[in-house]
C-alpha cells in the first residue's frame, strides 16, 4: 500500500471531537445546498429560455405581418412580447430575488455551520462514505490521487 492509499487527506477528515452525527448532519445540509444549486441552475434555464422565447416572438410578429395577419401581429406584440412573467418582474428580477432572499443566505449559513462545527472542512460525509465503500489495496480504489512525478 502506498502513501496515497491510507485514507482521506487531512482536509477531508473530521477534526477531533466532531461526532459522526455532526458529520452526517453537515452532509445533509450540504446535500440540501447542492439541490438548491441545481434549482438555481433551473431558474437560470427558465430565465434564458423565457428570454429566447421572447426574442423568437419578434420573428412570429414579422411573419404574421408578412402573411397579412396584422391584427394578430399587433396582438402578439402588445400582449405577450416583453410581458412580465410575474407582476412587475422579468425573469432576471426573479433570479435576483431568489439569490438575495434564499440562495445567498442558505449558502452563507451552510458555510458558517461547516466553519463552526467542523473547522470549515467540506465533504466530510462523502469522504467517510468513500472510505467505507472502497476496496483497500485496489488500484482503482485509492484514497487519494497519485502524486505528480518529481521533476
Give per-residue pLDDT as tens, 34-64.
999 999 999 999 999 999 999 999 999 999 9
* Grid coordinates of 148: 505528480
> Residue 5's pLDDT is what?
54
> What is the pLDDT, as a whole number, of residue 114?
97
**Whole-angstrom distance, CA of residue 120 vs CA of residue 18:** 12
Measured between alpha carbons, how far is 43 from 90 in angstroms, rounded to an integer? 12
Which phi and psi angles does 142 have, rounded to 5°?
-65, 155
Specify the pLDDT at position 99.
98
Nearest residue to 105 via CA among 31, 50, 36: 36
Q: How many CB atoms lie within 10 A of CB 15?
A: 12
Phi, psi values for residue 42, rounded to 5°: -65, -35
| pTM, rounded to two decimals | 0.82
Spans of the chain below 70 pLDDT: 1-5
Distance CA 76, CA 74 (A): 6
3-state secondary structure at position 91 = helix
The pLDDT of residue 10 is 87
CA distances from 39 to 46, 73, 117, 131 (A): 10, 35, 26, 30
Amino acid at each position: 500500500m502506498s502513501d496515497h492509499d491510507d485514507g482521506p487527506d487531512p482536509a477531508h477528515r473530521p477534526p477531533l471531537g466532531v461526532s459522526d452525527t455532526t458529520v452526517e448532519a453537515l452532509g445533509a445540509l450540504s446535500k440540501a445546498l447542492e439541490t438548491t444549486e441545481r434549482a438555481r441552475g433551473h431558474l437560470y434555464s427558465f430565465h434564458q429560455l423565457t428570454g429566447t422565447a421572447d426574442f423568437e416572438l419578434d420573428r412570429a410578429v414579422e411573419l404574421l405581418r408578412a402573411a397579412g395577419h396584422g391584427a394578430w401581429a399587433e396582438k402578439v406584440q402588445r400582449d405577450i412580447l416583453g410581458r412580465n412573467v410575474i407582476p412587475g418582474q422579468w425573469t432576471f428580477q426573479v433570479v435576483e430575488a431568489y439569490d438575495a432572499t434564499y440562495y445567498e443566505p442558505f449558502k452563507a449559513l451552510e458555510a458558517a455551520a461547516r466553519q463552526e462545527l467542523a473547522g470549515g472542512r467540506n465533504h466530510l460525509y462523502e469522504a467517510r462514505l468513500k472510505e467505507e465503500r472502497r476496496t483497500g489495496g485496489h488500484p482503482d480504489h485509492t484514497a487519494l490521487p497519485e502524486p505528480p512525478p518529481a521533476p
